[in-house]
Amino acid sequence: MIEELTIKSDSKILLLVIDGVGGVPVNGKTELETANTPNMDKLVRQGITGVTDPISRGITPGSGPAHLSLFGYDPIKHQIGRGVLEALGAGVHLDTDDIAARGNFATIDANGRIIDRRAGRISTEMNKKICAHLQKNISQIEDVKIDITSSNEHRFVVVFRGKYLDDQLTETDPQEIGQKPIRCEALAPEAQKAARIVREFVKRAKKLLDLPANMLVLRGLKKIQRISKMQTRFKLNPVAIATYPMYCGLAKLVGMDILKTGMNIEDKIETLKNNWEKYDFFYVHIKKTDSFGEDGNFEKKVRKIEKIDEYIPKFLSLNPDVFVITGDHSTPASLRSHSWHPNPFLLYSKWVISDRATRFTERECMLGGLGRFKAVDAVPLMLANALKLKKFGA
């Protein structure tokens, strides 16, 4: 329906995703409540707030579906394999016949049982060497081309390129130590060729690997799904200013250009400024809040939030027609993981009716004027506030 309503215009939307920003209270206050955030709080008083569920109430999302939802795509309808995301993020081209898998190098003992699912988090340099070694020795199995790309630390991507490959396959990662890697099995008769190729790949790779990374495990063996681009779906000209591969991969999947940028907020703002005239939808991703949440580091997450807050005036100085600040999912430091708690959401535009919220916190936003809504509705809301939507019906 939305495709028929979107119109092209000059107005600009800025979506700032502070990864995992939401938390739960520790000694009565969440990370956002603890942080000193005068700039976001000021914006809250001028804008309108709410909270979003990435999937539905109670459901903790992975980063993939959480972002997809925030980009305006139903994450249940569009389930994307982790291998596909990693491949896209690493700049690996995928054809619709290819199967991509995310791999971990791992350590197994003499009995073949996994003793470290991350091979002691080997260095990225070592990873590169191992991948090159594997690629040199395993370039093809039967008529299927094997394409191995190293990623950070213990992670890599392997793409199986060939005909008649079906992706109804089991993963080989037991996701638990003390277990043996799982044999890749076809979940449907048409996937038997793919399963055979994957098994042969694992077998050959194992022979080539050595301690500490003497084994590999594969997850998310999937083909790329066709998904309509934001250009088509929303008539936007979107761009991503992000560094981590998965977010770039996801952004690319929905049609965003990916700009080279640095790890710091300064770098991202610089990139944003330099490209402000070229696009009308800007997705800026800040990862560290989530990382500190995952590490259980409440204090560092608070400091990072405060640091981000200092840069809010710089974002505002670009005069976006719509400025949204939110998280993709919550990552409470006390849980050390993603959580089901809804995301604080702030929308600022000249067309909002401001609510009574006075701070950018979970508790203030949960009583905000936008109420509680599905993250997939965020883009329509941004489009509306940017006057990029026509009337529905006469």
CA distance 344 to 169: 37
Residue from 329, 246, 334 nearest 294 by CA:
334
Q: Which residue number, 249 or 255, has a Cβ lying nearer to a second copy?
A: 249
Other Cβ atoms closer than 10 A to 391: 6
Counting contacts by CB under 8 A, is residue 372 touching a second copy? yes
Q: How far is the CB of 63 from a second copy (least distance, A)?
A: 7
- Give bridge partners of residue 347 from the DSSP assignment: 48, 324
Q: Which residue number, 54 or 255, has a Cβ lying nearer to a second copy?
A: 54
Counting contacts by CB under 8 A, is residue 227 touching a second copy? no
Counting contacts by CB under 8 A, is residue 152 touching a second copy? no
Six token digits for residue 354: 């401001």
Counting contacts by CB under 8 A, is residue 389 touching a second copy? yes
CA distance 98 to 80: 14
- Using the structure block, give the residue that is written with the tokens 């539905």: 56
Q: Which residue number, 42 or 363, has a Cβ lying nearer to a second copy?
A: 363
Counting contacts by CB under 8 A, is residue 296 touching a second copy? no
Counting contacts by CB under 8 A, is residue 110 touching a second copy? no
CA distance 202 to 211: 16
Let me know: does 202 contact 215? Beta carbons within 8 Å: no
Six token digits for residue 71: 């980009």
Counting contacts by CB under 8 A, is residue 384 touching a second copy? yes
CA distance 16 to 180: 42
- Using the structure block, give the residue that is written with the tokens 């600009």: 12
Counting contacts by CB under 8 A, is residue 244 touching a second copy? no
Q: Which residue number, 110 or 394, has a Cβ lying nearer to a second copy?
A: 394
Where in 28-87 is the site for a second copy (CB under 8 A)? 30, 55-66, 75-76, 79-80, 82, 85
Q: Which residue number, 208 or 335, has a Cβ lying nearer to a second copy?
A: 335
User: Which amino acid belongs to residue 145?
Assistant: K
Let me know: does 168 contact 238? Beta carbons within 8 Å: no
Q: How far is CA 256 from CA 194, 241, 260, in A?
A: 31, 10, 13
Q: How far is the CB of 119 from a second copy (least distance, A)?
A: 19
Counting contacts by CB under 8 A, is residue 186 touching a second copy? no
Q: How far is the CB of 148 from a second copy (least distance, A)?
A: 20
Q: How far is the CB of 257 from a second copy (least distance, A)?
A: 24
Q: Which residue number, 257 or 377, has a Cβ lying nearer to a second copy?
A: 377
Counting contacts by CB under 8 A, is residue 312 touching a second copy? no
Six token digits for residue 46: 């001028």
Counting contacts by CB under 8 A, is residue 189 touching a second copy? no
Tell me, residue by residue from 14 to 33, as one string, x for binding to a second copy by CB under 8 A and - for no binding: ----------xx----x---
Q: How far is CA 381 from CA 6, 274, 282, 307, 344, in A?
A: 12, 26, 15, 27, 15
Among 13, 197, 352, 375, binds a second copy (CB under 8 A): 352
User: 301: number of CA atoms within 13 Å, CB side?
Assistant: 29
Tell me, residue by residue from 322 to 351, as one string, x for binding to a second copy by CB under 8 A and - for no binding: ----------x--x-xxxxx---------x
Q: How far is the CB of 59 from a second copy (least distance, A)?
A: 5
Residue from 134, 165, 128 nearest 147 by CA:
134
Counting contacts by CB under 8 A, is residue 262 touching a second copy? no
Q: Binding residues for a second copy, per CB under 8 A?
A: 1-2, 5, 24-25, 30, 55-66, 75-76, 79-80, 82, 85, 102, 219-220, 332, 335, 337-341, 351-356, 362-363, 366-367, 369-373, 377, 379-385, 389-394
